[in-house]
Amino acid sequence: MAMKVAVSLISFLLLSAYVAEAQVFNVKKYGAKPNSDISKALLSAWKDACASKSRSQVVVPGGTYKLNEVLFEGPCKAPVDMKVQGTLQANGDHSAFKTDGWVTFQHIDGFSLSGGGTFDGQGAHAWSKVNCHEKRNCGRPPINIRFNYVSNAEVHDITSLNSKNFHINLLGCKSFNIQHISIVTPENSPNTDGIHIGRSNGIKILDTSIKTGDDCISMGDGTHEVDIEKVTCGPGHGISVGSLGKYPNEQPVSGIRVKNCTLRNTMNGVRIKTWPSSPGQSTASDMHFDNILMDNVGNPILIDQEYCPWGQCKLQVPSKVKISNVSFKNIRGTSTTHDAVKLVCSKSLPCENVEIGTIDLKYHGPEGAAKTTCLNIRPKFSGQQNPVTCSKKS
């Protein structure tokens, strides 16, 4: 008992010492006032915190503030925590932005973002004016929060609201945890992916709610070792690997694990999508989807290697992305499309080592019982399948 008391006392003293040494940089001390532009004040607070030799904290207290396009650049001398307790509002006019990021964190090792606050992208004007979801090349409106080459980081207890483009984008990040955040945009907001991950490694997304007009979570090329758990998605387009194969020199994707998630009123469920007529060959492997509840979901289980929206590709040229080592297990619920399970693989590179285990998906539409479509694939089976998967010869 004495030993436990001693250990507790030491822990308390160490924590007290940490708190005493931590420096707090409150934007109010830099002239920030509610209902005004705090861009300069926040950047000044960041600069001082980043220069601190001990762990520091940048604080945006409660209230509503205007914020222009800002870049928080590292490297910093010690880890920095940013605590946003109020609401930050972007300029509603997307043409006022010079880059594709509203709030960008870059080249930082050791960082956290929290505080219960809101990043309001005020995206309604951009949704009606920009049609990047239909055009291959266009001037993209800004992403709410970008993380470029940020490592050993955590984002929790914040809200991203009405982004003009993607809500959160990770590029070149490592050891990055996202937990207990809320992402909200209307169902009809185009290209507003909740969280997009590209060329990043060691990402965890836990206990998060995403309501948006595109993919709740999307994973681009070069993504490795991603764990997604206890995510509620809907409305939106589902949880997607891809799209892949659209650009030259894409990097492999591997180690994707999605489990214990709920998808509700989404256009798609869990899917892997690649473009036909790929400019180069790449791979996507070791991807596993387990214990997923589908509630009123279109295409609950989908491999689509003929992904070609708005006629932007040559559908007759097979995809060059090789898909292998995939499993869909313990997936249940209701489908809004007749094809509850659709596995359409590349003719030139058929899918390999795909396992379907314990599927129970019901369709109550006018076309009869749920069915499956299988093309260029010979999956393995475990447990029971309802509907019977790949009952016709592929």
Question: Is 213 within 8 Å of 191 (Cβ atoms)?
Answer: yes
CA–CA separation, 303 vs 322, rounded Å? 12
Q: What is the CA radius of gyration of the chain?
A: 23
Tokens 């605590």: give the residue: 83
Q: What is the mean pLDDT of the chain?
A: 92
The model's confidence at residue 3, banded by pLDDT at 50, 70 and 90, is very low
Pairing of the two strands 239-244 and 270-274: parallel
**CA dihedral defined by 191, 194, 200, 204, rounded to 10 degrees?**
-160
Average pLDDT in the 349-366 region?
96
180-205 pLDDT, tens per residue?
A: 999 999 999 999 999 999 999 999 99
Of residues 314 and 364, more confidence is placed in 364
Pull the structure tokens for residue 30.
């830099």
The residues, ordered by sequence, that sit 6+ positions from 388 with a Cβ below 8 Å of its Cβ are 372
Pull the structure tokens for residue 307.
């992904």
Average pLDDT in the 294-321 region?
90
CA–CA separation, 235 vs 121, rounded Å? 19
**Which pLDDT score, from 0 to 100, does residue 131 have?**
66
- Going from N- to C-terminal start, the domains of the chain cover 64-386
Does 10 score more than 90 pLDDT?
no
CA angle 328-334-340, nearest 5°?
55
Query: Which of the following is catalytic: 94, 167, 196, 237?
Result: 237
- pTM to 2 decimal places: 0.92
93-141 pLDDT, tens per residue?
A: 999 999 999 999 999 999 999 999 999 999 999 998 876 555 555 568 9
Question: Is 297 within 8 Å of 333 (Cβ atoms)?
Answer: yes
262-301 pLDDT, tens per residue?
A: 999 999 999 999 999 888 899 999 999 999 999 999 999 9
39-96 pLDDT, tens per residue?
A: 999 999 999 999 999 999 999 999 999 999 999 999 999 999 999 999 999 999 999 9
Pull the structure tokens for residue 317.
């040229």
CA–CA separation, 39 vs 194, rounded Å? 25
135-161 pLDDT, tens per residue?
A: 555 568 999 999 999 999 999 999 999
Lowest-pLDDT range, 62-76, 118-132, 316-330, 335-349? Answer: 118-132
**Which pLDDT score, from 0 to 100, does residue 16 have?**
40
CA–CA separation, 286 vs 22, rounded Å? 42
Per-residue 3-state assignment (H helix, E strand, C coil) for the chain: CHHHHHHHHHHHHHHHHHHHHCEEEEHHHHCCCCCCECHHHHHHHHHHHHHCCCCEEEEECCCEEECCCEEEECCCCCCEEEEECCEEECCCCHHHCCCCEEEEEEEEEEEEEECCCEEECCCHHHHHHCCCCCCCCCCCCCEEEEEEEEEEEEEECCEEECCCCCCEEEECCEEEEEECCEEECCCCCCCCCCEEEECCEEEEEEEEEEECCCCCEEECCCCEEEEEEEEEECCECCEEEEEECCCCCCCCEEEEEEEEEEEECECCCEEEEECCCCCCCEEEEEEEEEEEEEEEECCCEEEECCCCHHHCCCCCCCCCEEEEEEEEEEEEEEECCCEEEEEECCCCCCCEEEEEEEEEEEECCCCCCCEEEEECCCCEEEEEEECCCCCCCC
Does 17 score more than 50 pLDDT?
no
Lowest-pLDDT range, 130-134, 340-344, 347-351? Answer: 130-134
Q: Is 107 a catalytic residue?
A: no
Pull the structure tokens for residue 75.
């490297």
Percentage above 90 pLDDT, the chain: 86
Tokens 């009869």: give the residue: 368
Pull the structure tokens for residue 89.
């509002």
As to burial, measured by CB atoms within 10 angstroms (0-12 exposed, 13-18 middle, 19+ buried), residue 284 is: buried
Closest alpha carbon to 297 in 273, 328, 271: 271
* Half-sphere CA count of 243, side-chain side, radius 13 A: 21
CA angle 319-314-279, nearest 5°?
50
**Residue 219 neighbours by CB distance under 10 Å:** 29
CA–CA separation, 340 vs 70, rounded Å? 44
Closest alpha carbon to 103 in 132, 75, 67: 67
**Which pLDDT score, from 0 to 100, does residue 51 have?**
98
Give the CATH fold of the 64-386 domain. Answer: Pectate Lyase C-like (2.160.20)
